[in-house]
A and B are shown apart, each in its own frame.
Chain A
């Protein structure tokens, strides 16, 4: 394509300029008195005659995520896919199938188990893994507590932050050089800054001030011994994209993502499911409410939301009209301070 400047006769006054056609695609003439200049008639990727139907945004997000997984698998010596039992990691598993079937996954799947699980999530995990026939590793926070690697926060205490130590120990023990995770940039302002392939030093630390430049789709996976990468194929997906994809692909999820009745207590503005770890205080009222979970994490710190969304389409409609963000609604861990996610990520968190 030659870049002929002034391919169109250049108007000496903008208000006499009619918007030109861009590469055959007719565009409405929005108005005369504004400055839109089409300098090169051949510009614009769309609108060629007999153009194939353009991929929709989910096709594009999927294609990119599959590309990222294949790059990590090809460039890294020993990658692992982190699976939490939540919706994002369920999507990751489907994307791994898309990337590698009919072959086997070129990496094991690992669950960092806080020990504070919803039964439905563990059930889902085991069923999903049995269906895939892939290897599951479990790294247990309880083990880390038992071995004295981390202090025991007590029966009702959050184990969210402790997961970082368990994860880093597992990375060291297995010699992993890349962890594929389901984090998304729309979740949090620290995440919004993170690369698709994000470097961790030998201490597992993220240094947000000196991230590797990451141009185009050139993801380079080289690290030295002891360093590793986090890879986030869902970086550019939003919560809504994830649900639309789940609907389109008929991806199974733990039942707690859909409306159900359960006893909850209201604590710190959150609805916590009553369980062996969340025991109501004498002054707390236990209510039987119809709720669902927007995220799935440590049962002591993941709040439920009131909801009547029974199907994926219901959930999509609910999210589209929601006034509260995913993490704001449901995660105690993100409420400590303005920078809590940044701080945890610096320590090696997912």
Chain B
């Protein structure tokens, strides 16, 4: 790739997107403030604003929790309504932080933040342990495909820097992570208030020899969201480019694997076979197009390819379906039942859809599926859907792009659900 002035060469992916999760008062705001402060991301005028907010609220000194202060309504009610995005960078990496709200009624916003995350940072008050709310959100993160957990066992100062307290948080977290099918979990004992083990290693917990939170973030696998999975490369056609001298090329973003000129491909849902004659960008031809790049490709044959079609390797293509089971996070107030009509946006295609039946609801506490005929607001469950145009899909766990969709209300255009093709692996059907 082109070299960049001012950018340090980074190993692995140079961009990590993570979501922060935590129950109210466990110290999430303080932790993010601390992380931004100690990595020198805060400017003097921002620090001054934090100091003056602290004074106004009668806090002695500077309360770093005010760094993440957002909207007026949030300040008035003292809650977080919507996800806020923050940015930090170290010589190793750039971080995009999706700071997620905790309340159940804002699950839609939490899901928004977690849907593109490579990793979740879970803040737990070590003196109280995992709360219901934190379990719930960790479950939603897992459902959305987050497979790496970084847990901040916070308020270690209040716990007397006690190793046993840390271990008990670790055991709880570990059990949950295993249950949810996480790939890695790292637990770091921190004090967000005092800064121990956030960006700077603590000297007060000699029994801990692991990484600081920041170091763990620098080391974590990145880019998972576009790379992980075993479904092969995918290119949903976004835009057809007509070339002045004749001929067409197809623009889109690659996911799940790499395309190369000469690859045998199939165009779905039609099933026409062809070969890639070139893979290029505005800057010229590429030898290969890895996941996450926006490219244009040309095909060997004059096929009728349009927006919404999917280009996939001939050897590992997606499944074309008219009816399929999917897991929904339902966001709207009126419950979803069988026989309701929507629009679905799947990759770059918009199609009418109908719920054939509502099959089950996920109990996020027990992680069991129980049968039901409707899903209410902020509930998660499995439904069977029929679509007006055949869709080329992968199971969500194989590809987060071709395995995901949103449901749109036909009247209001509101996004009423996030959908994932298939059933979560961790969900258990209760034994009766």
- A189 x B70 contact (CB < 8 A): yes
Specify which of A23, A54, A211 lies most central, judged by the most chain B CB atoms within 10 Å of its CB.
A54
A6 is an interface residue with CB less than 8 A from chain B = yes
Chain B 395-424 against A: per-residue CB contact (8 Å), 1 yes, 0 no?
Answer: 001101100111010000111001000000
Please, which residues of chain A bring their CB within 8 A of the CB of B94? 57, 238, 241
Mark interface residues in B345-359 (1 if CB within 8 Å of A CB, else 0): 110101000000000
Evaluate contact between A31 and B210: CB separation under 8 angstroms: yes
Which A236-286 residues sit within 8 Å CB-CB of chain B? 236, 238, 240-241, 243-244, 247-248
Report which residue of A35, A101, A217 has the largest number of chain B beta carbons within 10 angstroms of its beta carbon.
A35
Among the stretches A108-116, A152-160, A166-174, A312-320, the one at the interface with B is: A312-320
Residues of B within 8 A of A46 (CB): 12-13, 221-223, 227
**Nearest residue, chain B, Cβ from A46:** B12
B214 within 8 A of A: no
A306 is an interface residue with CB less than 8 A from chain B: no
A203 close to B (CB within 8 Å): no
Interface residues of A in 41-71 (CB under 8 A from B): 42-47, 52-64, 66-67, 70-71
User: Which residues of chain A are near B181, meaning CB under 8 Å?
Assistant: 3, 5, 39-40
Assess whether A190 is in contact with B70, with CB atoms less than 8 Å apart.
yes
**With the chains together, A324 CA to B229 CA distance in Å?**
42
Contacts of B241 in A (CB 8 A): 100, 102-103
Q: Does A342 contact B (CB under 8 A)?
A: yes
B210 close to A235 (CB less than 8 A): no
Q: State which size class the interface on B falls in.
A: 35 or more
* B144: min CB distance to chain A, Å: 8
B219 lies within 8 A of chain A by Cβ: yes
Question: Across the interface, do B115 and A38 meet the contact criterion of CB distance under 8 Å?
Answer: no
Most chain A CB inside 10 Å of its own CB: which residue of B53, B85, B178:
B85
Interface size class of A (residues with CB under 8 A): 35 or more
Contact A71 B348 (CB under 8 A): yes
Instruction: Looking at the assembled complex, report how far the CB atom of A22 sits from the nearest CB atom of chain B, in whole angstroms.
Output: 6
In the complex, the answer to whether B183 meets A44 with C-beta atoms within 8 Å is yes
Would you give the 0/1 interface string for B1-24, flagging 1 where the beta carbon is closer than 8 Å to chain A? 111111100101111000000000
Minimum CB distance partner of B242 in chain A: A103
Is B96 close to A, CB under 8 A? Answer: yes
Query: A222: which B residues are within 8 A, CB to CB?
Result: 343, 350, 408, 413
Contact with B along A7-34 (1 / 0, CB 8 A): 0000000100000001101010011111
- What is the CA–CA distance of A223 and B415 in the complex, to the nearest angstrom? 12
Given A33-B210, A39-B184, A74-B348, CB of A1 within 8 Å of CB of B13? no
Binds A, one of B104-112, B131-139, B362-370: B104-112
Using a CB-CB cutoff of 8 Å, which residues 189-224 of chain A contact chain B? 189-190, 192-193, 195, 208-209, 211-218, 220, 222-224
- Taking the closest CB of chain A, its distance from the CB of B155, in whole angstroms, is 17
By the criterion CB–CB under 8 Å, are A22 and B70 in contact? no
User: Is B43 a contact of A324 with CB atoms below 8 Å?
Assistant: yes
B4 near A56: Cβ-Cβ < 8 Å: yes
Q: A247 to B5, Cβ gap below 8 A? A: yes
The answer to whether B2 and A218 have CB atoms under 8 Å apart is no
Q: Tell me if A317 and B6 are in contact (CB < 8 A).
A: yes
Q: How far is the CB of A96 from chain B (nearest CB, A)?
A: 10
Segment at the A interface, from B57-65, B266-274, B289-297, B313-321: B289-297
Please determine whether A193 and B70 come into contact, CB atoms closer than 8 angstroms: yes
Question: Which residue of chain A has its CB nearest to the CB of B220?
Answer: A44
B6, B81, B170, B426: most-surrounded residue (chain A CB, <10 A) = B6
Which listed residue, B210, B238, B293, touches A34 by the CB 8 Å rule?
B210
Binary contact readout B62-98 vs A (1 if CB under 8 angstroms, 0 otherwise): 0000000111110100000111111101000010100
Is B188 close to A, CB under 8 A? Answer: yes
What is the bound-complex CA distance between A252 and B207, given in angstroms?
Answer: 55
A-B complex: 4 closest residue pairs judged by Cβ atoms: A34-B210, A43-B183, A31-B209, A45-B227
6 A/B residue pairs, CB under 8 Å, sorted by A: A1-B229, A39-B183, A54-B290, A100-B241, A324-B44, A342-B71
Known: A46-B13, A98-B282; 4 extra A-B contacts, CB below 8 A, are A57-B94, A103-B241, A103-B242, A218-B345
B residues apposed to A, CB below 8 Å: 1-7, 10, 12-15, 43-46, 49, 53, 69-73, 75, 81-87, 89, 94, 96, 108-109, 111-112, 115-116, 118, 144, 147-148, 167, 170, 173-174, 177-179, 181-188, 207-211, 215-216, 219, 221-224, 226-230, 238-239, 241-244, 251-253, 258, 281-283, 288, 290, 292-294, 307, 331, 343, 345-346, 348, 350, 397-398, 400-401, 404-406, 408, 413-415, 418, 425-426
A: which residues have CB within 8 A of B?
1, 3, 5-6, 14, 22-23, 25, 27, 30-40, 42-47, 52-64, 66-67, 70-71, 73-75, 97-103, 185-186, 189-190, 192-193, 195, 208-209, 211-218, 220, 222-224, 235-236, 238, 240-241, 243-244, 247-248, 312-313, 316-317, 320, 322-325, 328-329, 338-339, 342
